[in-house]
Structures are given as C-alpha cells and as structure tokens.
Structure 1
Amino acid sequence: MAHIDQVLGPADDTVTFFQPRAMVYVTMLWVTAAVWAVCLGLHILVRLAIGDAPSAGELVTYLEVALVVPVVVAAAILLLAWRRLGWLHSSMHGLDFAATGRKPVHLPWAGVATVALRRWGPFTELVVTPVAEDFATVGDGPGRRPRLRRRAGEVSYLVDVGLMSPGPEVLLAELHRRLPAKV
C-alpha cells in the first residue's frame, strides 16, 4: 500500500507571491508626490487669491519642498511597513496569505469557495471567500486582524495584490489551477 506522501507528490510545491520593496517605494513616491503637488498648488492659489503673490525665492522653496517631501514620506512609509508587506503562498497544503500589516491566514483548498480580483492597478485586491468562516485559521504574530468583507451572510478575506510579483493575473491563474473542481 502506498504511503500518503507518495500519493500526494512533493511536499515543497509552494508558489510564493510577494510585494517587492522597490515597487512599493516607487508607487508610494508617485502617490505622495501627486498629493503633495496638489496641496502645494492649492496653497499657492489661495495665496494668489488673497493678493499675496509668492516671491521668486519662495517659489524656489516650494519647488525644493515639492521634490524632497515625497521622497522622505515614501521612505518613512516603506520603513514602517518593511517586514509587514503582503504575501501569498500557494501549496498542496492550501492557501496562506497576509495583507500588508495584517495577521496571516491559512485556508485549506477544500475550504476555498471562490477567489476573484477586484479593482485595478496598484489597488487590485484578491477576494478569497471560504466555504465557511471556520475553515480559515488566523495565525499568530504581529499585525492587525485580517481584512474581512461581509456580504449577504458571506465572509471574504481581502488581500492587497496590486503590487505583488509576478502579478495579480498570474496569481489568480495559479489559484484557479489549484482549486478543486466544483461539481
């Protein structure tokens, strides 16, 4: 009679998806720069509206601030999230995942009802819906509770995957490859 490990195949068939720190930094940089530029622009417009036009020296200072602040803020955000960036492991044992800053969750394949993507670009989220809420095991460790979405009596876990490598579409294809066929 065959041993169960021989029937299941190799124990190390894990596929890992993660958020590269450089990609997170660049994304945080352009988002911060866009918000900061709008704030500075509004500040200058308000000054112009009340009749207090900035001098040439003040405009140079605004430009310096516009270039430096987003770099520093993006670096600070990355340092705060350094060891807490989102990840996902898909293996024969099930699905393990954690959103940025959240506790990890383990879900066996038999407990996964559906997986889907929502939103687009860096804001893409993976929606993992278990068959029942008690199928999921929340792990120990640092971080806040996993992000949940409750709709029509269903509980789903949300994972930020927009910046994951190799990409959300590849991640979804891997999950669909592993999901047991529903009859």
Structure 2
Amino acid sequence: MSGIMRKRSEFFNRALSGNWSEKKDRLVELPEDDPEIFAFYINIIYTGAISSQTDNHRLPNNELQAYFLAIVKSYILAEKLQDKQAKNTALLTLHTVTVRLSFPERLPNAEIVDLMYKNTSKGSLGRRLMVDIWNNNYTKTVLEKSESICKDFFVDLAYSIYGQRQKKPSVAWDMPSTTYEEEL
C-alpha cells in the first residue's frame, strides 16, 4: 500500500523516503485525522472516484449534507497529504452533484462552507467552488445564513458577484468541472 500512497501523496513520499522515523517503521500516524475520512481517502486512491450516491436528488437532506461533508473532509485531507489527484476527484464529485441538485436547500450548507474555508488557504480551488456554487440565484439564501458562515467566504462571494457583473461566467453551472482541477 505504501507504494501507491507515496506515488500519489507528496507528504507520504517524504515521510517514507526521507530521514523521518516513519521510514524505518513504515508507519505514519495521523492521530488528528478521522479514520472514516482516511478510509474514504484510501477508497479514492484505489478507485479513482468517490462512491456515487446515484440518486442524490432523492436522498433526505441530512444524508446529502453528510455526503457533502465527507467529500469536503476528504478534499481537506488530500490537501494536507498533498495529493492533487484526490483533491481533483473530490471537487469533480462535488461539482457534478451540485450542478444536478441546484436548489439552495440541496447545496452544501453553511457548516460545510465554513469547514472548507477554515481548513484551506486563500486561493484554494475548493474555496472557489464553494463560491461558484452559491453565486447564482441563491446568494439571497446564503446571506440569510450569514451568521454562521465565515467572513472570507462573503468577501470571495462579493468579488465573484462583481466579476459576474462584468459578464464573466462565475457560477458552477457555467464552468466545466476542469476549472476546479489542479494540474498534475
């Protein structure tokens, strides 16, 4: 298993090939990471995809939000592990699902937007996707939830709305999914 992980993740490559103690033991401990999300990440590595909830539009909203949360957490883990392919897979899945479910109550909720923003850096493609998802007719809906969403999201959303006024496409529905992929 370490071979594929080293190939995909710069973090694991360094940990298992440098002067780290993990190289000798061939064991990398990540105690602060959720084992379920790590299993989700391992599944992405081996299958190249995130298991699809084929009838996303029929899922109860709480299950759909849990699915979005797992995708975003896997993106955050992949960013930590420096695995561009897994990050791209997570954002491709999130983009695909949200484009099909374009109703405000069926989009990633305030908690998920906030999680993405608190765990990624400025300029992150994950942040950009969150803004583009909400930069549509749903801006009013997100403004109503403003108490629970971080300020940086609103700054990015304002810039995106301004860009839209300049006639640039800036909503997820108008963008190809490759917009959110990192170059490998």
TM-score computed with the length of structure 2 as normaliser: 0.29
Higher fraction of helix: 2
Higher fraction of strand: 1
For the pair shown, which has the larger CA radius of gyration, 1 or 2?
A: 1
TM-score computed with the length of structure 1 as normaliser: 0.29
